Every structure is written in structure tokens, then in C-alpha cells.
Structure 1
């Protein structure tokens, strides 16, 4: 019980920090794994979204399609990061996904995150994102996966960039998947779990089925769905 309370307290403290840009950057810059994913003076593009919204795929696809490895601020899933991106007027790709799929996938991936916390994080993140949406290119999950060239075109148009625009072929997709798994492996400390990797998994599908009906009993899901629909209207 004491361990559960400690985890809950830690997660709530982290949520508070993630909402405050000055505090977030001051603290996270001391964490080695965050130094290459936070916004800095070298950042060329920001790719952010709630967890399980094709974040890793979007970053991997960008690196595979370009002539060099761009400096990308990414994978913090923090409100502070999108606020700073907006304030600095940085080229930003905001990733969205319907809350049912995103939340279930997130809960399966992170053992310390329960459904209630996952829903609250979804709402908190996208409520702020919606208020700043005019500054971002917004892409839904399916569009990110199937129409990546369209994202590149829109980033170029919106921000005056010169990204290579390329329709992904089979070779590109293989390279992207390999890079996704390499990034997941690095994040997990060398191990690649079927519950964490961003590709189809029978084990994960079985757990999803059990969680889907349970999710509908949470009253705040309606708020999450409303936010998603509003952002969907602004997406590509």
C-alpha cells in the first residue's frame, strides 16, 4: 500500500512539473535522457502528442525521409513543451488520436498509470493544446501512419521549411519500423517488450479487449472525446 501511495504521489508531482515550462526545463535538463529531446536553441522542429499517438513513428519517419538527422524536440508528452514551442513559434507537429485507443494503449504500456490518471492526462494535455492549436500542424493517428508525405507538405507550407517530401515505399517502411524498435529498445534499457513496442501485438490486443468496456464507465471520457473531436476538426 505504501508503495502504491508513493507511486501515485510521484506521478502527481510529475504532472505538476510538466505543466510549468520554467520548472520543467530547469529540472529536466539535469536528466541525461531528456537533454536531446527538450526544446533548445538548436531545435529545428517539435513533434509532440499524448503517448501512443504515433510519436515514435512520426520522428522515425522524419529522420528516414530527410537527408540529415534534424534536431527534433520530442517524446516528453509534456504540456510545458507545447507551450514553449508555441511561445517560440517553432515548427510543431501536434499528434492526436481518439482517446479510447490512445488511453488503452497507454495504460497497457505503463504499469504505474491507471485508467483514471490516463484520462486526466489526456484531457489536461489536449485542453492546453486546443488553446494553442493555431500555432501547430495537427495530424490524427491514421493520417500520420498512412499519409506522412502530407505532413511534410503541410509543415513546409505552414512554416516555410524545405523538408524532403516523399511518399513512403516498402523499403522506407521497413527502415522506419527498425528505427522505431531501436528507439523503443533504447528507451526500455535494451529490452523490447511486446506491450511497449509500436507495432501489432497479439498479447496487447487481448488486454485491450478487456479494457475497452471498462473504459466507458469513467465519466470524464466524454470530455476527452469532445476535445478529440474539436482537434480533429483542425487536423489534416
Structure 2
């Protein structure tokens, strides 16, 4: 158990550091999968956010309505956002209140340090804060309930013509099914699927207790509020 925690936290810290520094960001694993996810001048849009902030949901629904669009997404790295601005690629950053986002991350992997999970949330959004006026910010509620309005904001901000219809229960059901199928195809445990489940809800209760005992959570909350107010 101790060894697994050490390995997990070391790998998480390494990826976290690489995602915040330009030279190291270039060295991120260049698998075919990451080449598709990573931002470049050829991409049409960049969709980024801290893990468990509806990244999978919004990316799926966006690409369902815009199937020919080349999207950068799921690197969970602030440099992805910085480079999108540099390349003049339209960029949306998803944000979720820290206690829910961080708790969901910890539910996925109980070997991860609670304090470091909070610190990684803070580091992600602090790195993006100086460029917030150059991107579109979307809170979790808007991202999941009104993605068509988020797309309208993107179009207004960048002069693009991306398409999205108002969210319906049928569309949400389709996206959830796609995410569940992807999880099963990869033979991942139920708690890794990026949608609410009963198992995740049970695990989350223990996680929330740990989180509320961390003083650093206050800093994350204040940062989240700053983004909502700006």
C-alpha cells in the first residue's frame, strides 16, 4: 500500500510539474493518443480543465455536434491553455467548485495525497489566472446543463461558428452511455467512469470528510470564487 501510494504520487507530481512549465510540457509523452489531445496551431478549439470538471462530458457533446472539428482536450495542463492562446486557438477552460472536483479525483484514486490533490487544483488555476481575459471560462453547472450557451459564448468571443443545440435528457443519456461504454471497453472499474454512480457516491462520503479537514481547501475555494466573479 505504501509503495503504491509513493509511486502514484510521484507520477502525479511529475505530470503536474510538466504541465506547468513550457520546456517540460514539450517532453510530455508523445503517444498517438496524446498527439491528438495536445494543442497545436492546426487545432480548431482547446477544451481544458482540472480533472473531473466535466471535461469528458463537454468534449463528447461538443464533438457530437461538431464532428469534423479538431479539438485539443484532456491534457489537464495549464500550458495547454497558454499554448492555445499563443497559437490563436479558441480556448475554453472548465472549472468546478474545488470540493466536488477534488473529491471526484480522490474517489478515482485513493492512493493520491489529499493535500497534493488540493494543491494541484490551486496550481492549475493560478497558472491560468493571468490569461483569463483571453479565454472562455465555464462553471460546472453551465457546462453540464447549458452547454449550448457555453458554445454561444465561445462563438461571441472568437467569432467562430461552432454548433450546439439545447441539452435534452436524450442527448445526456447518449453521452453517459458513450462514457460507460468507453469505460467497459478499457475494462476500467466502475468508479473511473466520468459520470455519477452509486459506488462513487459511497466512496465520496469518506473523501469529503478528509477534504474538509484540510486548511488548504479555503485557498482553493477563494480562487474558484475569483474566477466566477471575473
- Shared fold (TM-score, shorter chain, > 0.5): yes
The count of corresponding residues between Structure 1 and Structure 2 is 229
Aligned equivalents of 1:166, 1:216: Cα separation in 2: 38
- Gapped regions of structure 2 (runs ≥ 5): none
Aligned equivalent of 1:167: 166
Which residues in structure 2 correspond to 1:26-105 (within 5 Å)? 26-29=27-30, 31-66=31-66, 68-105=67-104
Q: Is the 8 A contact 1:47 1:55 kept in 2?
A: yes
Does 2:138 correspond to 1:142?
A: no
Aligned equivalent of 2:191: 195
1:185: how far off? 4.7
Distance 1:156 1:38, change over 3 A: same
Aligned equivalents of 1:14, 1:105: Cα separation in 2: 18
Aligned equivalents of 1:18, 1:201: Cα separation in 2: 29
Aligned equivalent of 1:126: 125
- Gapped regions of structure 1 (runs ≥ 5): none
* Most deviating of 209-218 and 97-106: 209-218
Q: Is the 8 A contact 1:181 1:192 kept in 2?
A: no
User: Once the two structures are superposed, what CA deviation does each residue of 1:77-97 show, in whole Å capped at 9, x if it has no partner?
Assistant: 012211211222321111000
TM-score (norm 2): 0.92
TM-score (norm 1): 0.89
Query: Over aligned residue pairs, what C-alpha RMSD do you find?
Result: 1.8
Aligned equivalent of 2:155: 156
Aligned equivalents of 1:3, 1:138: Cα separation in 2: 35
1:28: how far off? 2.6
